[in-house]
Amino acid sequence: MFEKLLQIEKNYLHCRDQMMDPEVVSDLDKTRKIAKQMSNLEEVYTLFQDYKVFVANRDEAKEILSVEKDAEMIDMAKEQLSEATSSIEEYEQKIKVALLPKDPNDDKNIFLEIRPAAGGDEAGLFAAELLRAYILYAQKESWKTEVMEEQLTGIGSLKFAMVKISGEKVYSKLKWESGVHRVQRVPKTETQGRVHTSTVTVAIMPEAQDVEVDFNPADVEMDTFAASSAWGQNANKNQTWVRLRHQPTWIIVTIADSKSQMQNKEKAFAILKAKLYQIEQDKQDAENREARANQIGGGDRSEKIRTYNFPQDRITDHRIKESWSNLPGVLSGNLEDIFNTINVANQAKLLAAQLEKESW
- Domain spans in the chain, listed from the N-terminal domain onward: 2-98, 110-208+291-351, 212-282
Q: Contact at 8 Å (CB) between 129 and 236?
A: no
Calculate what percentage of the chain has a pLDDT beyond 90. Answer: 46
**In the predicted model, is pLDDT for residue 82 greater than 80?**
yes
What interhelical angle do 28-67 and 2-18 show, nearest 10? Answer: 140
pLDDT at 236 (0 to 100): 41
Q: Contact at 8 Å (CB) between 213 and 280?
A: yes
- At 215, the pLDDT band (50, 70, 90 cuts) reads confident
CATH topology agreement for domains 110-208+291-351 and 212-282? no
CA gap 53, 91 in Å, rounded: 11
- At 191, the pLDDT band (50, 70, 90 cuts) reads low
Burial tier of 241 (Cβ tally within 10 Å: 0-12, 13-18, 19+): buried
Q: How confident is the model over 201-222, as a mean pLDDT?
A: 81
3-state secondary structure of 342: helix
pLDDT at 233 (0 to 100): 44
Query: Beta partners for 151?
Result: 160
Q: How confident is the model over 168-181, as a mean pLDDT?
A: 93
pLDDT at 11 (0 to 100): 92
Q: How confident is the model over 178-204, as a mean pLDDT?
A: 88
CA gap 87, 99 in Å, rounded: 18
The average confidence (pLDDT) of the chain is 85
Q: How confident is the model over 250-271, as a mean pLDDT?
A: 82
Residue 357: count of CB within 10 angstroms of its CB: 6
CA gap 271, 159 in Å, rounded: 18
**In the predicted model, is pLDDT for residue 259 greater than 80?**
no
What interhelical angle do 336-357 and 71-98 show, nearest 10? Answer: 90
Find, among 308, 338, 326, 317, the residue nearest to 122 by Cα.
Answer: 308
Q: Name the least confident of 31-35, 174-178, 276-280.
A: 276-280
Q: Does domain 110-208+291-351 have CATH number 3.30.930.10?
A: no
Higher pLDDT, 263 or 53: 53
The domain 212-282 is placed in CATH, from the list 3.30.160.20, 3.90.950.20, 3.40.50.12280, 3.40.50.300, at 3.30.160.20
CA gap 350, 60 in Å, rounded: 35
CA gap 230, 228 in Å, rounded: 7
Distance of CA 287 to the CA centre of its chain: 22
pLDDT at 155 (0 to 100): 80
Contacts 24+ apart (CB under 8 A), 132-136: 132/331, 132/333, 133/330, 133/331, 133/332, 133/333, 133/335, 134/163, 134/165, 134/174, 134/177, 134/333, 134/335, 135/163, 135/333, 136/332, 136/333
**In the predicted model, is pLDDT for residue 258 greater than 60?**
yes
Burial tier of 41 (Cβ tally within 10 Å: 0-12, 13-18, 19+): buried
CA gap 106, 174 in Å, rounded: 9
Q: How confident is the model over 199-208, as a mean pLDDT?
A: 91
pLDDT at 132 (0 to 100): 96
CA gap 23, 4 in Å, rounded: 29
What is the per-residue pLDDT across 119-170, written as a single tens digit (0 to 9) for each?
888 999 999 999 999 999 999 999 999 988 888 887 888 998 999 999 998 9
Higher pLDDT, 258 or 114: 114
Concatenated DSSP letters of 240-287: -EEEEEETTTTEEEEE-SSS-HHHHHHHHHHHHHHHHHHHHHHHHHHH
pLDDT at 339 (0 to 100): 94
- At 286, the pLDDT band (50, 70, 90 cuts) reads low
What is the per-residue pLDDT across 5-55, written as a single tens digit (0 to 9) for each?
999 999 999 999 999 988 888 888 889 889 988 988 999 999 999 999 999
pLDDT at 128 (0 to 100): 94
Q: Name the least confident of 79-83, 112-116, 201-205, 296-300.
A: 296-300
H-helix or E-strand spanning residue 66: helix 28-67
pLDDT at 185 (0 to 100): 93
Q: Contact at 8 Å (CB) between 186 and 311?
A: yes
**In the predicted model, is pLDDT for residue 106 greater than 80?**
yes
pLDDT at 269 (0 to 100): 85
